[in-house]
Structure 1
Amino acid sequence: MTADYDVLILGAGISGIGMACHLARECPEKRVAILERRHAIGGTWDLFRYPGIRSDSDMFSFGYAFRPWHDYKVLADGPSIRQYIADTAREYGVDRYIRFGVKVEAASWSTEQRRWTVIARQEDTGEALTFTCQYLVPCTGYYNHDHGHLPHFAGQERFNGLRIHPQHWPEDLDYHGKRVVVIGSGATAVTLVPAMAGKAAHVTMLQRSPGYIFSVPAYDKISAKLDRVLPTRWVYRLARWRNIRMQRLIYKAARRWPRQIRSWLLAHVEKQVGTGVDMRHFTPGYNPWDERLCAVPDGDLFTVIREGKASVVTDHIETFTEDGILLKSGKVLKADIIVTATGLQLQSLGGMTLRVNGRQLGPGDLMTYKGVLLQDVPNLAYLFGYTNAPWTLKIDMAASYVCRLLKHMDAGDFDMVTAHAPSDEMLDESILGSLQSGYVQRGQGVLPRQGRGLPWRVLHNLEADRKMLLKQAIADPALEFKRAGTRVAPSSARMADPRALSV
């Protein structure tokens, strides 16, 4: 038997739960279900379990706009974020509509039936499952949850110690008193090093080239003090407003005055690490925001380096040895554990196959309309967040736009909408734009394309997106709306519980 819904969401991470909550708030009459491959809510925050995992944005702006974050810890740890997402799902009742352990393999649209057919599999039993829906909303992010990026290192099979990728961290790993080498210089590496330095004999961060690192307060003292004299909701709104505008100011300044911001960032690091550390390890060869900046709370990375518990080495790997790594400079790093924090492997739509009227389409061959709808793909919204600001700022707006679109379709008695672009609009550039990070460059081909201009160009611009997604009318010459000759029976329930249906 096939389970049928008005809206089917793929993924119960921060994006999928956010989308479901917006539907519960703004389109309560819709029958909604969520398919989640893992066996828990949280997505990324349930997958990654390495020591010290935390947000790389402050939680006042990273949390949902409709459900305030009231803790004063600026960069929250992974378990706290997981709990926040789960609590949000329960508060809005959407946790009851999640089908766990379901891997989606393919989605096929039929214009004749005005329906998506989603083919999936219950992973623990292998049972084949089929779902249908009028509107499909993948909230699967843009990287592969099965495999991170793991380059081949010469001699890696010779190493007698333990080699770990952060995406597959052993929960029972004992690194007390061990020599640890963390390969990488991104957000994962700068988080792991101070988190492991307290127990490990020594932790070395081995990088090919430096990245920008800046310190943020671990605790929001301003909001904590204001909370004593002002209503909590005011304090939250003020903190969110302040932090969003500060982030936007730094980003815009970095793009406009890169040399000045570069000098400011490096001076900040030099003050933190002290005079005994070679600044070449912290001086990137690119401008700020050509790659993402890494935030560290209260300069914890700089503290463990200053105290001698950790160190940074900038070099290239010649080969792994039986007990460590030989570098091209001739230096040897002894190690009991090597952590390969070498990045992500990009993937669109969770790796599922996408077909429209029998024709297979790849996201890497399509653009996005307003950064939400896929070109020439009916009744599908692909939610992804910001790369230069907190992820959920974009997710909240995109989810609101989807709800506005669904209301517009209902009001006009439409059951199909498709975004069509001019034939010469597409550029050979992905939606992640100007970011030069390794994972972005490796995965350019699997991501949707950029257009020459709006609404086909993804700007990663909060102000422009707020206008496009929340203010502009839904009706647009680029959108083709259709009515069916025979209407699908209207929903009779607020949301359908997929566990109560046989599939």
Structure 2
Amino acid sequence: MPDTVTLPQAARADAADGPATEHFDVVIVGAGISGIGAAYHLATQRPGTSFAILESQESFGGTWLTHRYPGIRSDSDLYTFGYRFKPWTSAPIATAAEIRTYMGEVIRDNDLERHIRYGHKIGAARWSSTDSQWTLEAVRADTGETVRISANFLWMCQGYYRHDEGYTPQWPGMESFQGRIVHPQTWPQDLDYKGKKVVVIGSGATAATLVPAIAEDVEHVIMLQRTPTYFIPARNANQLADTLRELQIDETWIHEIVRRKIIYDQAVFTRRAFEEPDAVKKELLAGVRAHLGPDYDVDKHFTPSYRPWRQRIAYVPDGDLFKGVRSGKASVVTDEIERFTAKGILLKSGQELEADIVVSATGFHLNVLGDIDFAIDGKPLVFSDTVTYRGMMFTGVPNMAWVFGYFRASWTLRADLVGDFVCRLLAHMKEKGARRVEVALRPEDKDMKLLSWIDTENFNPGYILRGMHLLPRRGEKPEWQHTQDYWGEKDIFPAIDLDDPAFVYR
């Protein structure tokens, strides 16, 4: 696909200010799953709106382009992680390549290629109340030149972590290790792990994907975890979808029916995780025991200390992680790292794990607003000083929406909801003749207690805890927080009153 685009827009040249500025009604930041979805909604719900998608990488895909480690796949089913407007027709858990193919079809079928500009890394975003618009400065990867683009509205779809660097804790002795330390996010394409001893540090979805993907080729792979994680081992198929296909039902109908059934089942499961956590825990562990057998120490290696859904639960399609353990090619060690040694890792128990390669599947760095230097009327934007409106708009930040998906449901479910909301908001602004909109606390909110972005007693993954100081605050009222409740928001978002005093138009 081309990395530049020519649209019927007049460029405004201001010699005193540097390069010409090209103007659009909307600029979408990021060509990942959220950005491509936003472009589709804008093109179909607001035809005639001029827009551009600015993407820092060389192609579309976001996460599914950045991560190239062996076995990379979704940890959500594609009937709900896929868009509501495009049927998913393959196995529920998909590879990165399959997801990018799916996204590519959305781009091609909806003529979105001409709107995307690859290799455009945004360094600064400036809001001018005088002009009621944003001005972005981006550096082009191919030429190194700085380009300026202005927009009436900014739609942030850049994701929530830094793509160029994963999070690796610093352990004592790492410099003495004679092997190689890699992070899955920056997986070296020349890494030869065949016949090697590998230790994967971590127990989340990445580790659970990577371990079975390399197990057959390595001498042995160990998943080293400080604490266990909940998993859902399940067949990588959907029986309802398969039955409907046997009946030759149209794929559009299948997608909608299966999607609704999965969403319903997820709502029931989530409710049960809160109301009867012991029963849900017992069921999850029974699924693991069914794969590992009665003699395996499931209590030690697969029984977390927290209740289900306090952290994300990853699917293990066809139980491949557990098959690797049963085969003897993979094993799980639950312990803490004392230090690295020349040969591997010394644990606090005194055991030493020998390794040729250590993979730190230890998470990522939270990235809010794309590490872009934001300013509003010359004043730097301190994102953590704002209060969130339903996790997508922020007090004091005009003409901007942000996509941050769900933890307990598929990310894209929220991207679709935000897409509808933004398109409705843009239409409402046009009807009112307003050039500017921002959210503000109402008089009845003046005594509302302000809290951290998310209740850590409710959900507490490491990357959120490490980056909480960077995130906006939430209020006690549901409209002033990101509730993580898709099952409520799917009805609430379409009914948001755009003339509520929380929305200030000018």
Contact 1:432 1:440 in 2 (8 A): no
Q: Is the 8 A contact 1:367 1:426 kept in 2?
A: no
Judge conservation of contact 1:426–1:449 (CA < 8 Å) in 2.
no
Counterpart of 1:283 in structure 2 is: 303
Aligned to 1:303: 323
Native 8 Å contact 2:451 2:476 kept in 1: no
Task: Give the structure 2 partner of residue 467 of structure 1.
Answer: 491
Deviation at 1:427, TM superposition (A): 2.2
Equivalent in 286, 290, 308 of residue 271 of structure 1: 290
SS in 1 for 2:164: coil
2:418 is the alignment partner of 1:398: yes
Whole-Å separation in 1 of the counterparts to 2:384 and 2:460:
18
Alignment of 1:175-324 (within 5 A): 175-229=193-247, 230-279=249-298, 280-324=300-344
CA-to-aligned-CA distance 1:346-399 (integer Å, 9 cap, x gap): 110111122111111222221221222121111000111111100000000001
Q: 1:383 aligns with which of 403, 411, 427?
A: 403
* RMSD value, Cα: 1.3
8 A Cα contact 2:395 2:438, kept in partner: yes
**Structure 2 unmatched runs, 5+:** 1-19
One-letter identity of the residue aligned with 1:472: I
Tell me the percent identity.
44
Deviations 1:162-185 (A, max 9, x none): 111001001232211111100001
CA distance in 2, matches of 1:464, 1:247: 13
Separation in structure 1 between the aligned mates of residue 176 and residue 118 of structure 2, nearest angstrom:
40
Tell me, what secondary structure is at the counterpart of 2:127? strand
Which residue pairs with 2:10 in the alignment?
A: none
Distance 2:277 2:243 in 1: 35
Alignment of 1:146-165 (within 5 A): 146-165=164-183
The alignment status of 1:92 with 2:110, answered yes or no, reads: yes
Per-residue CA deviation, residues 123-178 of structure 1 (Å, 9 max, x unaligned), is: 34321111100000111111111221111111111111111100100123221111
Residue 101 of structure 1 pairs with residue 119 of structure 2: yes
Matched residue SS, 2:158? coil
Matching of residue 32 in structure 1 with residue 51 in structure 2 = yes
CA contact (8 A) 2:425 2:498 kept: yes
Where 1:190 maps in the other structure, the secondary structure is: helix
Question: For residue 476 of structure 2, what is the amino acid of its counterpart?
Answer: R
Matched to 2:150, the amino acid is T
Partner of 1:445: 469
SS at match of 1:455: helix
Q: Which residue of structure 2 aligns with residue 501 of structure 1?
A: none
Q: Which residue of 2 aligns with 1:372?
A: 392
The 1-side partners of 2:246 and 2:314 are apart by 32
Q: Confirm or deny that 1:354 pairs with 2:374.
A: yes
Segments of 4+ in structure 1 off by > 6 A?
none
| Distance apart, 1:28 and its partner CA | 1.0
TM-score norm. by structure 1 comes to 0.93
Aligned CA distance change for structure 1 residues 426 and 148 (closer, same or farther; 3 Å)? farther
1:430 aligns to 2:450 (yes or no): no
Compared CA separation, residues 232 and 381, structure 1 to 2 (3 A): same
Evaluate the alpha carbon distance shift between residue 464 and residue 225 of structure 1 in structure 2; reply closer, same or farther with a 3 A threshold: closer
SS in 2 for 1:42: coil
1:426–1:119 CA distance, 2 compared to 1 (3 A): farther
**Which ranges in structure 1 are unaligned for 5 or more consecutive residues?**
483-503
1:236 CA drift (Å): 1.6
Distance 1:383 1:93 in 2: 22
Q: Which has the higher contact order (CA 8 A, sep 6+)?
A: 1
CA distance in 1, matches of 2:40, 2:120: 21
Matched residue of 2:161: which SS?
Answer: coil
CA distance in 1, matches of 2:121, 2:447: 36
Contact 1:194/1:301, CA 8 A, preserved across alignment: yes
Q: How many residues align?
A: 481
Mapped partners of 2:43, 2:89: distance in 1: 22
The correspondence for 1:454, drawn from 470, 478, 484, is: 478
- Supply the distance in 2 between the matched residues of 1:34 and 1:395 (Cα, whole angstroms): 16
Contact 2:267 2:487 in 1 (8 A): no
